Amino acid sequence: MRVNGKTAAPGAETSGDGYLPAHGNGGYRVRHYDLDLDYRIGPNRLSATAVLTCEATQALSRLTLDFGEFRVSRVLVEGKPAKYVRRGLKLQVKPARSIPAGTEFEVEVRYAGNPKPVGSRWGDIGWDELTDGALVASQPVGAPSWFPCNDHPADKASYRIAVATSSPYLVAATGNLVSRYQSASTTKWVFERPEPTSTYLMSVQIGRYEDLELSDGAWIPELTADRPVGVVQRAAVPPRLRRSFARDFGRQGRMMDALEDWFGPYPFGEYVVVVTDDDLDDPIEAQGMAIFGANHVDGKRTHERLVVHELAHQWFGNSLTVADWQHIWLNEGFATYTEWLWSERSGGESTDALARAWYARVRAKPADVTIGDPGVARMFDERVYKRGGLTLHALRKEIGDPAFFALVKAWAVENRHAAVTTEEFVSLAESYAGRSLREFFAAWLERVALPPL
């Protein structure tokens, strides 16, 4: 794997990522994950088998996987038992035979235990228990809390996920539901995610939810009034919050129309919204899915900006995933600017007014972060989000509306399901501007001083 221009050494236990080198691994790429999970809610017990279809990018005498604190009962490489040992959050695997460069191979891991979040500088991240159910919130390092993986955003793969759990509970996973089997008191849900997907964007949600079909608009008339049914949209919502949800998410269909107008076709097969019965600090983005807490639903559209923010991540962050975490402004700046665009489109404050207001707030803060390379400690700093949005607004003023909106649509469509960098965005922007924008982007992304808006 090449990350930041570096090639990982054979069997390396690092991706070479400058921000999170302990996550991700060298020497191979994962093409497909097949996850078979059996989850017991009461005791929080997960028994699972993971099969990874990989491609060796160099000769491998051993390899490592990012993996949490489970009891591993078996590891097979190409169907043959392999030696393995755990060191922290790494599972070191030594195949019976070395794997030649360019070879496709399978790794099977059978494991069980009590899933728990991964500790990080941002708190506990990953598989977590709810009051009555479970959720997965993996950004940026939580995927190893529930399956063995190559945990780097640039290593995108397809997935099949099967989840068996108690029948009274609904399961929503990041994928298209392809089958559901009920036997006695247990139901097995099977999902497929065909699009290339980063590990941190995979998610499982389990709860006593009501399954709502949003696309038909039967119970939210405003959702599809005077508009054809387009993208399949579903929701998993606690019954007690159904009425408030109908109000707070009633304009999601119009949001989808607006975002497709700005950024091109929705990049996945369907969009699923989950509202947990517990409060959450922040909404959670996942591939083709967004997860909100009960506290984000009040029947007053108080948090509508978050609804459109998470929807925007389906284009910027999920379909277009950062090649490494240095470029996170590409995720959060676009999602933030989409909030401002939607405000104006829906009759709220204009993008100009919101940009001026946030410019004043950002300028009042210390000038000590460059959003093009904020550093690992400030990946989720509010200024990365807001100054990222301001950068896009300033770019729009710099090159004009026709070039700007053509640029952002081309950016989303041409890089669909790819890993992207700031340099690639700058290059595309220059092609639409018809001139160099190096000084413009240097001022906004590479310097701490806030340039004039």
pLDDT by residue (tens digit) across 96-140? 999 999 999 999 999 999 999 999 999 999 999 999 999 999 999
Return the number of other C-beta atoms located less than 10 Å from residue 58's C-beta. 18
Ranges for all domains in the chain classified under CATH 2.60.40.1730:
2-115+138-199
The strand ranges marked E within 230-362 are 232-237, 270-275, 284-286, 289-292, 321-322
Interatomic CA distance for residues 451 and 209, integer angstroms: 48
Judge contact between 378 and 121, C-beta under 8 A: no
Those residues whose C-beta lies under 8 Å from the C-beta of residue 330, and which sit 6 or more positions away, are: 316, 320, 322, 388, 420, 422, 425
Interatomic CA distance for residues 406 and 401, integer angstroms: 8
Could you give phi then psi for residue 22, rounded to 5 degrees? Answer: -75, -10
Interatomic CA distance for residues 84 and 76, integer angstroms: 10
Those residues whose C-beta lies under 8 Å from the C-beta of residue 364, and which sit 6 or more positions away, are: none
Read off the pLDDT of residues 143-202 as tens digits, 9 standing for 90 and up.
Answer: 999 999 999 999 999 999 999 999 999 999 999 999 999 988 999 999 999 999 999 999
Peptide bond into 265 cis (omega under 30): no
Q: Which amino acid is at 72?
A: V
The strand ranges marked E within 114-237 are 118-120, 123-130, 133-137, 157-166, 170-173, 176-183, 186-197, 204-207, 210-213, 232-237
Q: Which amino acid is at 273?
A: V
C-alpha angle 16/32/125, rounded to 5°?
A: 55
Judge contact between 256 and 215, C-beta under 8 A: no
**CA 172 to mean position of chain CA atoms:** 15
β 157-166/28-40 pair status: parallel
Whether the pLDDT of residue 1 is over 80: the answer is no
> What are the residues facing 87 on neighbouring strands?
90
Q: What is the pLDDT of residue 105?
A: 98
Could you give phi then psi for residue 140, rounded to 5 degrees? Answer: -100, -10
By mean pLDDT, which of 218-222, 288-292, 306-310, 431-435 is the weakest? Answer: 218-222
C-beta contacts of 18-21 below 8 A and 24+ residues apart: 18/324, 18/326, 19/324, 19/325, 19/326, 19/375, 19/376, 19/379, 20/140, 20/141, 20/152, 20/325, 20/376
210-314 carries CATH number 3.30.2010.30: yes
β 232-237/270-275 pair status: parallel
Q: In which band, very low, low, confident or very high, does the pLDDT at 57 lie, cut at 50, 70 and 90?
A: very high
In the three-class reduction of DSSP (H, G, I as helix; E, B as strand; rest coil), residue 127 is classed as strand
Judge contact between 248 and 299, C-beta under 8 A: yes
Whether the pLDDT of residue 50 is over 90: the answer is yes
Interatomic CA distance for residues 391 and 389, integer angstroms: 5
Judge contact between 150 and 60, C-beta under 8 A: no
User: Which token pair is 417?
Assistant: 């399901």
Pick the CATH number of 2-115+138-199 from 2.60.40.1730, 2.170.120.40, 3.40.50.2000, 3.40.50.300: 2.60.40.1730
User: Which token pair is 79?
Assistant: 């169907």
Judge contact between 160 and 35, C-beta under 8 A: yes
**What is the largest distance, in Å, between two alpha-carbon atoms of the chain?**
66
Which CATH architecture group holds 322-446?
Orthogonal Bundle (1.10)
DSSP 106-126: EEEEEEEE---PEEETTEEEE
Whether the pLDDT of residue 308 is over 60: the answer is yes
Whether the pLDDT of residue 5 is over 50: the answer is no
Q: What's the pTM?
A: 0.94
By mean pLDDT, which of 20-34, 93-107, 200-214, 228-242 is the weakest? Answer: 228-242
Ranges for all domains in the chain classified under CATH 1.10.390.10:
322-446
Q: What is the pLDDT of residue 280?
A: 96
Read off the pLDDT of residues 206-228 as tens digits, 9 standing for 90 and up.
Answer: 999 999 988 655 445 555 444 45
Q: In which band, very low, low, confident or very high, does the pLDDT at 4 lie, cut at 50, 70 and 90?
A: very low
Whether the pLDDT of residue 287 is over 80: the answer is yes
Those residues whose C-beta lies under 8 Å from the C-beta of residue 389, and which sit 6 or more positions away, are: 333, 336, 337, 339, 340, 355, 358
**CA 206 to mean position of chain CA atoms:** 18
* Integer-rounded Cα radius of gyration of the chain: 22
Q: What is the pLDDT of residue 387?
A: 98
